Chains A and B, each alone.
Chain A
Amino acid sequence: MDKVKVTIDGQQIEVDDGSYVLEAAKSLGIEIPTLCYYPYMAPYAACRICCVEAHGVGGWSKIVTACNYPVWDGLEIYTDTPRVINARRTNLEMLMANCAPVPVLHRLAQQLGITEPRWKTDTNYTCILCGLCVRICDEVVGAHALAFINRGAKRDVSTPFQLDSESCILCGACAKNCPTGYIKMEEIENRYIVHKEMNLSPNAAITLPFRQAVPNVPQIVRENCIHYKTGGCMVCAKVCPKDCIDYGDRPKFEEVEVGAVVVATGFDSFDPSPMKQYGYGKYPNVISSEEFEVMNNAAGPTGGKIVMENGEEPRAIAILHCIGSRDHDYHKYCSRVCCMYSLKFSHLVKEKTSAEVYQLYIDMRAFGKGYEEFYERILDEGVNVIRGKGAEVVPSGYRQHEEGHLIVRCEDTLIGKYREIPVDMVILSTALEARQDAKEFGRKLNISTGADGWFIEAHPKLAPVSTTTEGIFLAGACQGAKDIPDSVAQGGAAAAQAMKLMAQGEVMMDAAYAVIDEAFCSGCKMCNDMCPYTAITFDDAKKVSVVNSALCKGCGTCVAACPAGAIMARNFTDEQIYAQIEGMLS
């Protein structure tokens, strides 16, 4: 593209021919005030605040709007001559004449030295009719939901017929960019949930999947992105200096050949909403342990402050143990980590607030290294520990000033009394449970899940990281509830097992596996679906089924299924079993 030389306030710069003065000034670091300019859209020069003085060859000069005045070779621009200031002042005063003094105009007025606008109005109308909203909706978003309506003094921006527009995609681009705040998004959800925000910013179209994600790369959330609704916008692509934005990017299936798999799919946090007695989901200040952790995060939605729904600091917090664990209605097992994290919570609460903390526990299981000591430290910090499971959380609406607060009912089994504890916030120490899709996922890997849904290890004592499928190892909470040290240890063990397998370069097979005798197999395919390890495939050329002995685990279910007796379970043959029966009973 051709370059032209322009001089702005005495500084010369070479810019692209066809660009505008405002952009040239920006690249020189000279600020020109403007209200209606949006960098990714054609200039419109509606607010006329960006006035500058243009000097041409031959000594002529005139006031132009910087945003849409194209540069040309030899152009001289002055941005702060008295003539420019005067023009800006007049334009601003005229905007203010029709518009209530919204902060942005006020600030500009101060900058330009206007103490009292010449024309006054007592309207509370705040639109300066710059049309930024209309243009963004048209040009960037592509929803075409907004337009100017009426004429002259009645001119305004609105949706067609001033009704709720079907074209509006609720992207909020108009409201976000409105210089005066005339356009507002109405909040439909009125509940302020402090803890649901797991992303960098809620509802943003570009987010990190979660903090500490690997790779830590932002992604576009299609449901929230304007581009996928209207085909327009694409502002992020214009902004990104590295051209990283790819709208055509889709989830891709990558096939990776590996020699071993370590399953570390983790756990799900138990959802306490079915336990109606605790009012989770009903009372905003009843939160789960996971949500408390998010709140506690310095980078979290509350900046690490422990606050209630109304933003105030709680005066008393109850931490209820064993929500969903050690409970015959939900999970019978102990989730192992809750006692300790609950103690950690009380420590954090004590550190950050002056709230009273109540721990309601069944048994305090502080079994690890240094854990018991930590428990004692908590006791020293003045945490109230009550032996007795929290029975119920009820709102305390008895007296006026207590409204919105909570009462935890429990039986203190150490003093043998029923207690009602008034608190502001309740933290439910929810159970760890197997991932919802663990069973389905396990089927893909041919590893099995136990009754609780955790993946089953090959042997509870002797092979706690291996699975029944060779080359697949378990690490962490996918195998059972466990804390971080245990997970790390198991992860290391699983990695070592996997490395061992790879270093060996060969696999030892069990002697018990199935073999199909081609001479007897007629390819009825009865067995093809039997194998949980997909070791049986059909040989289309020979029209017989074939067992891949490396995949076969020797369970023999195909052997029992084969109606022709063509499959032999090595070391557990029909003949051997018949001989055992005969031998035992003869």
Chain B
Amino acid sequence: MSFEPRIVGFLCNWCSYTGADLAGTARMKYAPNVMTVRVMCSGRVDPAFVLDSFRAGADGVLVCGCHFGDCHYVEGNHKCMRRIAITKRILKGMGIQPERLRLEWVSASEGARFQEVVDSFTEEIRALGPMRLKEWAFIPEQVEAAAAAHGE
């Protein structure tokens, strides 16, 4: 079975979510891999959400907000841009390709752009392959089996 990336998309209520909606009402076809979380503003997106998405098994995270100057909340997208910049650094340090996190500006009228962003990002993640968390969870049986293997 081919790898279907699982992507969490954080879409701002006013531009990107509406843009995604437009793509839908215009019957545009785009990759079903992005699962969206609606937030009021891209400025709501906390780096912890991004990390938690990867923790929960996402292969990529897409954050979409309004274009600069178009933010419904004046400059929430600027704050988002700064936070995503630092989050990419954290991801890099954590051994996750920063490309797995993408920030895009999609306005309410850019249904086609949303389609294009989702499609291209899905393909990019597909090319990067699945995210595999190393030893994230603590599973006692595995630990004990490993210990037994060492001659307990």
Contact = CB atoms under 8 A, between A and B. Distances in A.
B46 A559 contact: yes
Contact of A556 (B8, B40, B71): B40
B6 interface: yes
B20 to A, nearest CB: 15
Contacts, number: 95
Interface string B64-96: 000101111111100110010000000000000
B41 interface: yes
A586 B115 CA distance: 25
A577 B40 contact: no
Interface in B1-26: 6, 8
Q: Which of B46, B47, B53, B58 has most A Cβ within 10 Å?
A: B46
Contact of A560 (B6, B37, B83): B83
B98 interface: no
Interface of B: 6, 8, 35, 37, 39-41, 43-49, 52-53, 56-58, 67, 69-76, 79-80, 83
A581 B48 CA distance: 11
Interface string A433-452: 00000000011001111110
Contacts of B47: 560
A586 B56 contact: yes
A578 B74 contact: no
Given A532-B75, A585-B57, A572 B70 contact: no
24 contacts: A442-B74, A449-B69, A451-B67, A456-B72, A532-B74, A532-B76, A553-B73, A555-B40, A555-B41, A555-B72, A555-B73, A556-B40, A560-B46, A560-B83, A572-B40, A574-B48, A577-B37, A577-B49, A578-B49, A581-B8, A581-B49, A581-B52, A584-B6, A585-B58
A553 B41 CA distance: 10
Nearest to B37: A580
B76 A555 contact: yes
Interface string A467-511: 010000000000000000000000000000000000000000000
A84 interface: no
Given A560-B44, A585-B53, A443 B74 contact: yes
A322 B35 CA distance: 45
Interface string A545-577: 000000001111101110000000100101001
Nearest to A578: B52
Contacts of A533: 73
A585 B40 CA distance: 21
A557 B76 contact: yes
A450 B69 contact: yes
Contacts of A556: 39-41, 43-44
Q: 3 smallest A-B Cβ distances: which pairs?
A: A557-B43, A556-B44, A532-B74
Interface string A517-546: 000000000000010110000000000000
Contact of A448 (B35, B49, B71): B71
Contacts of A451: 67, 69-70
A582 interface: yes
B72 A448 contact: yes
